[in-house]
Structure 1
Amino acid sequence: MAKVPAAYRATQGSLLDVDRDFYARLTALEARKLVDQRVVPIREGLAWEVPAGHVLRLSTLDGPQVGDLNLWHRHNPRERFWASRTRQLQRAHVSTFDRLWSTLPYLRPMATIIDDTLAGYGVNGSGMDPDGGRVHDLLGTRCDPYVNKLLTGEDFDHHCHSNLVRAVAPFGLTEFDVHDVLNVFQCTGLNDDDQYFMKACPAREGDYIELFAEVDLLCALSCCPGGDLSVDLWGPDARDPLETCHPIGVEVFRLAPALLTGWKSPGYAPYRGGHGMRPPAIDWTAEKQRRFNRR
């Protein structure tokens, strides 16, 4: 079968045209300093800040575990990660040198993936297993208590959506700010009926993914209550996957200034067309008379 080209393709010099040499240099361990370290407990969420120009590492500390990641601009939470546009501009499953894009009207890279120990997952390092599964998923979204209630009739307060709601509350955000996620370490795909499937997480103890913060970030991560997803969460074979749950490590690194020479935080998308709308013409003579009469 002929390979169909991607709909969204980079032109030279666009923000999709990533300087791989620059980002590869940022992985040098001797040129970074650990400035923040946390652990997201099982079935809980956590939020933290990552300044622009820093590196965020998420790691599976004790074994395979799926995490649901949200990103906001730290000083303007209306600008947040846009999973669907990232899926179009990059891939449905992201890895090294892919970028995580923000919502309209901002539309800029919020972070760039610079390292991923699961990049060689799958058959012959292709990134895809025999069932079509790939890792670091943008196809699906977070589990939530509303869907769970529909499927099981039960209330459960530790779904990823709820974990993220609790995590961001100290930063003044609410449930309305929680959005579609990057499912880190999660293996998913589409079956022959074009239905979404999830497989057991292939990560092992010590695997990690690293993101370079292109802007000041507020990050939130839920340690999924489904653990490594090796157990059915719904359906006739569903059971509690508690024994498959593991914590996720969070590390933030400051880079040596020399590594960032020439880099600057990307600006907003430069469109200023006004969507075809123009302000009404003003009769300034009449307007000045109106203002005079108000005196």
Structure 2
Amino acid sequence: MTDTPPAAYQSRPGSILDVDRPFYDRLADTTGREVLESFVLPIRSGRAWEVPAGHVCRISTPEGPQVGDLNVWNRHNPRERLWAARTRQLQSAHVTRYDRLWSTLPYLRPLLTFVADTLESYGVDAEGGRVHDLLGTRCDPYVNRILADTDFDFHCHSNLVRAVLPYGLTEFDVHDVLNVFQCTGLNADDQYFMKASPARAGDFVEFFAEQDLLCALSTCPAGDLSIPLWGPDARDPLEVCRPLEVEVCRPAAELTASWEPTRPAAYAGLHGVTLPRWS
């Protein structure tokens, strides 16, 4: 068996990729937290909410396994949003504690950092599955038409579209997602596979907002993915759909006293373009 090649993206010591783990460990301590917002997201629905910079957000499975599709934007500039592909390269195709979600160019900075994950110990299963997936993206009514030749209005893409409308965003702002609590991998033919979510009632992920965020979440219409949504064995997975819960908390003030929001990447060039000179 050959050795696994090293990651292509290697950081220099002291770069923004060097996470201050003790700092984020302290943020995972719930002592002194103040809950500012809490809501339950019903099955096959979507909702958007704000997470101020320096706050912690928890997404949990109150009644058992359920996949959620997450979008993230800079609250003040929706052109800056989650860049799933670069996050896969800078972090990994599945994320957990200490990993970050990175934003699009020309900003390229952390949107958030994960501080807790009760499924962290799941690791890699016998089939190569891992949890919290950036490999795939949201289900949508367009691919559903291709695969099933039917219309359905409660795919994750549509749930997210409805969720962001009150914030002045549209379908064009919905982007590739983090599939929270979803277990996925690549099979021997390099094809994407999905497995039943290993989450149980009370499992959660928590992240720290590195800047003012707008988040949107869909409770996937495939529920915990234990029933195929497409293919020869497909049937409506309504029976395995469950709600998700969201909490936004302010950590104890002393924990973030010396913290500052992340800044955009420092590149200040013009991509080789020269400006006209007036004589």
Question: Which of 173, 180, 200 in structure 2 is aligned with 1:177?
Answer: 173
Runs (4 or more) in structure 1 with deviation over 2 Å come to none
In 2, the alpha carbon distance for the partners of 1:155 and 1:232 equals 17
Residues 107-130 of structure 1 deviation map (CA, whole Å, 9 limit, x = unaligned): 000000000000000xxxxx1000
Residues 220-268 of structure 1 deviation map (CA, whole Å, 9 limit, x = unaligned): 0000000000001111110000000000000001011110122100100
Which residue is equivalent to 1:280? 276
In 2, the alpha carbon distance for the partners of 1:2 and 1:215 equals 39
In 1, the alpha carbon distance for the partners of 2:66 and 2:138 equals 14
Which residue is equivalent to 1:150? 146
Q: CA deviation at 1:31?
A: 2.5
Which residue is equivalent to 2:80? 79
Q: CA deviation at 1:10?
A: 2.3
In 2, the alpha carbon distance for the partners of 1:90 and 1:249 equals 26
Q: Does 1:201 align with 2:197?
A: yes
Q: CA deviation at 1:157?
A: 0.3
Residue identity opposite 1:227 in structure 2: G
Residue identity opposite 1:200 in structure 2: A
In 1, the alpha carbon distance for the partners of 2:237 and 2:178 equals 21
Residue identity opposite 1:118 in structure 2: L
In 2, the alpha carbon distance for the partners of 1:171 and 1:262 equals 31
Residue identity opposite 1:36 in structure 2: E
TM-score by length of 2: 0.99
Q: Does 1:140 align with 2:141?
A: no
Aligned pairs for 1:254-265 (under 5 A) are 254-265=250-261
Counterpart secondary structure, 1:147: helix
Residue identity opposite 1:20 in structure 2: R
Larger CA Rg, structure 1 vs 2: 1
Residues 25-45 of structure 1 deviation map (CA, whole Å, 9 limit, x = unaligned): 001111311110011110000
Counterpart secondary structure, 2:31: helix
Question: Which of 249, 259, 262 in structure 2 is aligned with 1:266?
Answer: 262
In 1, the alpha carbon distance for the partners of 2:51 and 2:182 equals 23
Q: Does 1:216 align with 2:212?
A: yes
**Could you list the runs of 5+ residues in structure 1 that have no partner in the other structure?**
122-126, 284-295
In 1, the alpha carbon distance for the partners of 2:30 and 2:218 equals 27
TM-score by length of 1: 0.93
User: Which structure: greater helix fraction?
Assistant: 1
Aligned pairs for 1:58-137 (under 5 A) are 58-121=59-122, 127-137=123-133
In 2, the alpha carbon distance for the partners of 1:31 and 1:90 equals 30
Q: Percent identity?
A: 67
Residue identity opposite 2:105 in structure 1: L
Which residue is equivalent to 1:17? 18
Counterpart secondary structure, 1:110: strand
Counterpart secondary structure, 2:86: helix
Residues 138-185 of structure 1 deviation map (CA, whole Å, 9 limit, x = unaligned): 000000000001111100000000000000000000000000000000
